[in-house]
Amino acid sequence: MTPEAVRCSNAFRGRGEPMLGSAPVARRWLLIEHPGPWSKDHLETPGIAGPVARAIEATCAELQGRSLLMRRPGRRDPDQSPAWYAVDTAHGTMVSGTWRTSDDLLAAVAALGSPLTHSETLAEPMLLVCTQGTRDACCALRGRPVTAALARVWPDEVWECTHLGGHRFAGTFISMPDGTCFGTVDLPNAVEVVRSHRSGEVDVSHLRGLARFSPAVQAATGSVLAAHGPAPITAARPGTVDVVSDTVTRVEVIGDDPLPDTTWVEVLAEALPPAPLSCGKGPGEHTAYRTSVVTDLR
């Protein structure tokens, strides 16, 4: 069997499993420019590892946050200080700066807290494409062509980034500042996926979810968009969320036109048979989120 045949992203596409509900869950993001090379665990990368990494982990755990390393595709000016951005995807705001030392990075970590809470600075649009080959070959093989395609259209907005979760969904990227995550994106469709999203007609066939929501809410809101769209990603938002059991969640999805005003969606977290989730590893356990509309709430 050829290496391409056993790539985790090829295997996922062949299985036809749902992708909604797979976006990494975070509301606040710390984005640190780092030219690389990136360690398999991005927080073990030189310049990040140590006290800075521990501070990032603790702060992200406290504030529903997540961190990424990122870099511009192609060469960069070595005399220019790398940038960092703290982004709140719920409010679309940011705090930013540059860094050279660990103290600079600790200030960046602190910005995720009170400075970001009180920020009124609108965040810059960004497209962050996972290309981290040290985590999985599919991320580099599928992510780099997507990066190149997007950079030709939006050269000032495109970044390569570290792991977004779910190697099998490559090519995968996240849009900032809204936090919409896409997967199974390739060179021919990458630009159109972004254009549709920005024009208010999100392509649900490539949607992983809106990252600030839980997996069940991602799946519920995405299913309503799929059934009644095209519409903006923000046209479907959660109302009441009722955790019925360990595997079942009922979500009230509140919609803007053209979506229904209210749709109740039941989300089943289904444990799937072991399958290849990462290149070079054996089959692993994973979950799919199945949705159905609830018509009787008794």
pLDDT in tens, 170-211: 999 999 999 999 999 999 999 999 999 999 999 999 999 999
Query: Is 293 inside a domain boundary?
Result: no
Instruction: Report the alpha-carbon distance of residue 67 to residue 33 in Å, rounded.
Output: 11
What CATH number does the domain containing 32 carry?
A: 3.40.30.10
For the segment 7-35, the average pLDDT, to the nearest whole number, is: 94
For the segment 205-231, the average pLDDT, to the nearest whole number, is: 97
Q: Which of 17, 26, 12, 10 is nearest to 209 (CA)?
A: 26
Residue 94 in contact with residue 87, Cβ under 8 Å? yes
Query: Is 161 inside a domain boundary?
Result: yes
Instruction: Report the alpha-carbon distance of residue 203 to residue 193 in Å, rounded.
Output: 6
Residue 134 in contact with residue 41, Cβ under 8 Å? no
Query: Is 229 inside a domain boundary?
Result: no
Query: In this structure, what token pair is assigned to residue 235?
Result: 């046209």
> Which residues partner with 126 through β-bridges?
176
Query: Is 35 inside a domain boundary?
Result: yes
Query: Is 263 inside a domain boundary?
Result: no
**83, pLDDT greater than 50:** yes
Q: Which of the 8 DSSP states describes residue 123?
A: P
- Residue 297 banded pLDDT, cuts 50, 70, 90: low
Specify the number of domains making up the chain. 1
Query: In this structure, what token pair is assigned to residue 62?
Result: 């406290």
For the segment 156-165, the average pLDDT, to the nearest whole number, is: 96
Query: Is 260 inside a domain boundary?
Result: no
**277, pLDDT greater than 90:** no
Residue range(s) defining the domain that contains residue 162: 1-212
Query: Is 242 inside a domain boundary?
Result: no
Query: Is 240 inside a domain boundary?
Result: no
